[in-house]
């Protein structure tokens, strides 16, 4: 019995779609939710800021989408391990907090040799961290090989003017 | 009792039962409690009947209705941010409609491009078969044109209904483009119908000019629509809060031109594949050798168009990806290394299949040419090269593994194969795939011919050298990419692409001059091809359509929880990024709907070849009925 070509084509269309759908089920299935807002109370300690900073780096801040911690070899972006101790030595006359703050607010100012510019300004959309969240990220970065000393009251070169509305 | 009497009695019984049920219902409804005081009061009123008496329930309902009316009248106007579509999530509705609109639009934009080129070839060569073929391709457009417009309108209404606030914002930004868009659409319709219905009615130059007009206007329409969608991914010309600063900058944003280039090429590749599928369908249903020969040739031309556009497509895709990185690194990383990175493994399977199928079609096509034996021997080497490249491309950086496998590998990355997961390996693999497919095409082109020029030997050697040098350069650059810093590695992909392009252009130029006046050593038998080759053509069209659906998803999904990246946030219940498994299900459903609709388009286009309706022998009664009805 000769099977009509139309039927063969229909089976081919359905089978091909089924196959590609099956391939789609074989890869890791991850649902990405919009980043949750982080609540930061005014009397937070530096240790708590480190924890919150780590959460932000993994989520809303997207830091760990590009940067690695403890990897070497062919990297696309600088590895962050040891940044807490290196930060104070990068620019003469600039302490670790100012260096890290400037790297987050104006990332193109400091490009590590061998890497391309391209990090977005963290305080601007779409990431859009606020000043307090950025202080928490600085605390977390300081903790990577250094001793964090930042608090929510710490002022740096990008802090809003005294009395300004945050 | 006869059967007719039984039916009559049954009808009467059902009618009687319904009348009794109605009466019982009315009695129950009218037997609501009525206070005796009210009944007496109402009874005294002139002309009052029992049904005019208001019960306590009636009064309560009346009060409620008055309250509702008062509330409705006092309610202030509020702009709705989102509405929910019935049955399906709003996002899925818009997703499927947008994809269907895009698939038909791509087809409608592509067909005139190659119809025009084929018609021009016919005019230059004075061969009427090209003109006939171009006309046949254009017939497919007529119904597809209406489908495009219908789905465009459907999508617009869905956006207005389901995402009113966001749609209003887009209208606010792009309102200056609406009038040109509508006018261009009007001109496109004018050009298209004149081009289609005017076939053979004008001087060929006039008709070809109409084709140019149709293509120019169609491309401009696509460019405007591309401005709207690329703005959502890489907004420009607006303030941080979305206020319009410059509408032209918004239109011609960062990813606008890369998408324009990518879409023009992809549309041609896709349109060619769908047209080839049409030819395959007609070939499989052909009744005569002549018909088979015609549709074999048509399928070959469609396939030739598809492969010709498909070869530079990865370069255009690379340019687009590069510009996405340049616009926003986080967006680029999200695409290639974040939530969407595994999507590119699915893409590798699709593109690998496309390359395999395209090569298989060319190899099967050699069978229609006498004296193909010498080239068919080389197929196994080409197949090995394609299979190796496919495997490299589809190798992920990290793999899903059990805890014991992770312990065995010393991490989630395989110690050897993990190295193939880097972009350097992927770029190398795709460049070699392109080069191999090109060689397949070159072999097919030379099957059954022998160069007669005096420098044929040197020409062959030069072609071989170009191929070898290009392949060596691609592999060398791919390997050293592992040992240089990130900035250098990214730059190295450009000479890789250039090596392949230079080789393809160089080999083509040599081939054109070398095969001029070539001696025919074997006859071409159009139509003498196994049915498998035609199913390969259909498979290519399915895979292309599916690939377009998948890439449409990543382009749009990349924005994640933003309608306009960084400007207008998505606050709808669908703001999350679904799993890839779910996305592939939606893509498959869309592709299946599309194929049902395109089958309808093919069927309608095929009606033109059918004989006119005439009453069957002995069918005077039918004909008489038709006359009476008319």
Each residue's pLDDT tens digit, B99-121: 999 999 999 999 999 899 999 99
Residue A97: predicted pLDDT: 93
A24–B482 CB contact, under 8 Å: no
Residue B630: predicted pLDDT: 37
Residue pointed to by tokens 């200056």? B176
DSSP A129: -
B591 interfaces chain A, CB cutoff of 8 Å: yes
Residue B626: predicted pLDDT: 45
A20–B561 CB contact, under 8 Å: no
In chain A, residues with a C-beta closer than 8 Å to the C-beta of B583 are 24
Q: How far is CA B282 from CA B137, B460, B609, in A?
A: 13, 38, 11
Q: What is the mean pLDDT of residues A123-145?
A: 92
A17–B567 CB contact, under 8 Å: no
Residue B619: predicted pLDDT: 54
Measured distance CA(A75)–CA(B435) in Å, rounded: 29
A31–B486 CB contact, under 8 Å: no
Residue B447: predicted pLDDT: 84
* β-bridge mates for residue B524, sequence order: B369
Least confident interval from A62-76, A87-101, B15-29: A62-76
The yes-or-no verdict on residue B497 having pLDDT over 90 is no
Q: What is the mean pLDDT of residues A63-84?
A: 85
The yes-or-no verdict on residue B36 having pLDDT over 80 is no
Compute the nearest-CA separation of B329 from chain A (Å): 5
Nearest to B390 by CA among B400, B382, B398: B382
Q: What is the mean pLDDT of residues B354-378?
A: 85
Q: What percent of chain B has pLDDT over 70?
A: 91
Q: Which of residues 386-415 of B touch A (CB under 8 A)?
A: 400
For A128, which residue in chain B has the nearest alpha carbon? B566
* β-bridge mates for residue A68, sequence order: A79
Q: What is the mean pLDDT of residues A81-108?
A: 92
- Residue A161 pLDDT level (bands cut at 50, 70, 90): confident
- The residue with greater pLDDT, B530 or B629, is B530
Alpha helices in B198-255 (DSSP H): 204-233, 247-251
The yes-or-no verdict on residue B305 having pLDDT over 70 is yes
Q: Which of residues 595-624 of B touch A (CB under 8 A)?
A: 595
Measured distance CA(B376)–CA(B365) in Å, rounded: 11
Which tens digit of pLDDT belongs to each residue from B261-299?
Answer: 999 999 999 999 999 999 999 999 998 999 999 999 999
The yes-or-no verdict on residue A6 having pLDDT over 70 is yes
Q: Which two tokens stand for residue A7?
A: 């039927």
Q: Which of residues 327-346 of B touch A (CB under 8 A)?
A: 328-330, 333-334, 337-339, 342-343, 345-346
The yes-or-no verdict on residue B375 having pLDDT over 90 is no
Q: How far is CA B541 from CA B14, B178, B220, B293, in A?
A: 57, 33, 26, 21
The yes-or-no verdict on residue B608 having pLDDT over 90 is no
B333–A66 CB contact, under 8 Å: yes
- The residue with greater pLDDT, B315 or A161, is B315
Tell me the pLDDT of chain B averaged across its residues: 88
In chain B, residues with a C-beta closer than 8 Å to the C-beta of A30 are 339, 579-580
Cβ proximity of B376 and B366 under 8 Å:
yes
Work out the angle at residue B64's Cα, subtended by the Cα atoms of residues B60 and B68, and round it to the nearest 5 degrees: 170
- The residue with greater pLDDT, B37 or A130, is A130
* β-bridge mates for residue B450, sequence order: B519
Residue B335: predicted pLDDT: 83
The yes-or-no verdict on residue B446 having pLDDT over 70 is yes
The yes-or-no verdict on residue B37 having pLDDT over 60 is no
Residue B623: predicted pLDDT: 46
Q: What are the φ/ψ torsions at residue B468 (nearest 5 degrees)?
A: -65, -45
Q: Which two tokens stand for residue B415?
A: 């110690």
- The residue with greater pLDDT, A27 or B48, is A27
Cβ proximity of B428 and B391 under 8 Å:
no
Other Cβ atoms closer than 10 A to B576: 15
A65–B333 CB contact, under 8 Å: yes
B486–A18 CB contact, under 8 Å: no
A32–B577 CB contact, under 8 Å: yes
Measured distance CA(B344)–CA(B352) in Å, rounded: 12
Judged by DSSP in three states, B563 sits in strand
Nearest to B538 among A12, A27, A74 (CB): A12
**pTM greater than the 0.90 cutoff:** no
Q: What percent of chain B has pLDDT over 90?
A: 57
A126–B566 CB contact, under 8 Å: yes
Residue B290: predicted pLDDT: 92
Which of B595, B597, B598, B600 should be substituted to probe chain A, the one whose Cβ sees the most A Cβ atoms within 10 Å?
A: B595
Which tens digit of pLDDT belongs to each residue from B169-210?
Answer: 999 999 999 999 999 999 999 999 999 999 999 999 999 999
């Amino acid at each position: 019995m000769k099977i009509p070509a139309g039927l063969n084509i229909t089976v081919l269309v359905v089978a091909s779609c089924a196959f590609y759908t099956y391939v789609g089920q074989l890869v890791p299935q991850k649902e990405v939710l919009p980043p949750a807002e982080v609540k930061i109370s005014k009397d937070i300690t530096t240790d708590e800021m480190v924890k919150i900073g780590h959460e932000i780096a993994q989520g809303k801040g997207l830091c760990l989408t590009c940067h690695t911690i403890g990897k070497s070899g062919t990297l696309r972006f600088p590895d962050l391990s040891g940044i807490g101790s290196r930060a104070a030595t990068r620019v003469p006359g600039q302490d670790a907090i100012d260096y890290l703050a400037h790297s987050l607010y104006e990332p193109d100012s400091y490009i590590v040799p061998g890497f391309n510019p391209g990090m977005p300004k963290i305080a601007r959309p779409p990431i859009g961290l606020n000043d307090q969240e950025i202080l928490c990220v600085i605390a977390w970065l300081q903790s990577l090989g250094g001793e964090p000393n930042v608090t929510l009251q710490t002022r740096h070169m990008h802090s809003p003017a005294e009395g300004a509305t945050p | 009792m006869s059967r007719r009497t039984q039916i009559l009695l049954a009808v009467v019984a059902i009618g009687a039962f319904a009348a009794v049920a109605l009466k019982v219902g009315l009695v129950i409804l009218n037997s609501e409690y009525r206070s005796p005081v009210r009944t007496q009061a109402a009874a005294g009123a002139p002309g009052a009947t029992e049904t005019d008496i208001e019960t306590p329930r009636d009064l309560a309902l009346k009060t409620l209705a008055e309250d509702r009316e008062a509330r409705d009248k006092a309610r202030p106007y509020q702009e709705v941010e989102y509405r929910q579509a019935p049955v399906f999530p709003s996002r899925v509705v818009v997703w499927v409609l947008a994809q269907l609109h895009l698939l038909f639009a791509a087809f409608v934009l592509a067909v005139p491009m190659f119809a025009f080129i084929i018609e021009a070839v016919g005019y230059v060569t004075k061969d009427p078969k090209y003109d006939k073929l171009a006309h046949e391709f254009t017939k497919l457009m007529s119904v597809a044109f209406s489908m495009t417009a219908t789905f465009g309108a459907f999508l617009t209404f869905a956006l207005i209904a389901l995402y009113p606030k966001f749609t209003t914002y887009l209208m606010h930004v792009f309102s200056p483009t609406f009038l040109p868009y509508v006018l261009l659409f009007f001109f496109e319709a004018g050009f298209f119908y004149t081009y289609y219905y005017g076939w053979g009615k004008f001087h060929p130059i006039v008709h070809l000019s109409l084709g140019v007009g149709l293509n120019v206007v169609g491309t401009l329409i696509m460019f405007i629509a591309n401005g709207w969608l690329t703005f959502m991914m890489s907004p420009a010309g607006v303030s941080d809060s979305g206020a319009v600063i410059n509408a032209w900058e918004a239109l011609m944003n960062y990813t606008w031109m890369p998408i324009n280039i990518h879409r023009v090429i992809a549309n041609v590749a896709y349109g060619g594949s769908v047209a080839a599928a049409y030819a395959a369908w007609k070939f499989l249903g052909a009744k005569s050798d002549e018909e088979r020969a015609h549709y074999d040739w048509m399928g070959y031309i469609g396939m030739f168009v598809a492969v010709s556009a498909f070869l530079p497509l990865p370069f255009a895709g690379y340019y687009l990806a590069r510009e996405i990185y340049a616009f926003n690194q986080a967006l680029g990383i999200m695409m290639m290394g974040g939530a969407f990175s595994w999507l590119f493994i699915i893409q590798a399977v699709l593109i690998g299949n496309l390359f395999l199928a395209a090569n298989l079609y060319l190899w099967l096509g050699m069978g229609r040419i006498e004296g193909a034996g010498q080239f068919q021997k080389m197929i196994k080497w080409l197949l090995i090269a394609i299979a190796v490249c496919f495997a490299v491309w589809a190798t992920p950086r990290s793999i899903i593994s059990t805890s014991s496998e992770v312990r065995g590998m010393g991490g989630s990355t395989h110690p050897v194969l993990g190295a193939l997961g880097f972009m350097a390996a992927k770029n190398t693999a795709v460049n070699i795939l392109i080069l191999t497919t090109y060689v397949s095409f070159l072999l097919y082109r030379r099957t059954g011919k022998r160069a007669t020029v005096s420098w044929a030997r040197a020409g062959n050697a030069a072609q071989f050298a170009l191929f070898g040098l290009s392949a060596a350069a691609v592999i060398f650059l791919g390997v050293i990419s592992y040992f240089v810093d990130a900035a250098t590695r990214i730059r190295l992909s450009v000479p890789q692409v250039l090596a392949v392009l230079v080789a393809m252009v160089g080999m083509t130029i040599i081939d054109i001059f070398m095969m001029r006046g070539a001696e025919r050593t074997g006859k071409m038998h159009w139509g003498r091809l196994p049915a498998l080759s035609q199913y390969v053509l259909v498979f290519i069209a399915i895979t292309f359509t599916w690939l377009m659906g998948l890439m449409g998803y990543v382009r749009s999904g990349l924005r994640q929880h933003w309608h306009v990246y960084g400007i207008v946030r998505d606050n709808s219940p669908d703001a999350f990024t679904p799993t890839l498994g779910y996305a592939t299900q939606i893509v498959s459903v869309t592709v299946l709907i599309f194929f049902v609709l395109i089958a309808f388009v093919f069927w309608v286009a095929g009606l033109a070849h059918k004989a006119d309706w005439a009453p069957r022998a002995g069918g005077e009664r039918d004909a008489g009925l038709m006359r009476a009805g008319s």
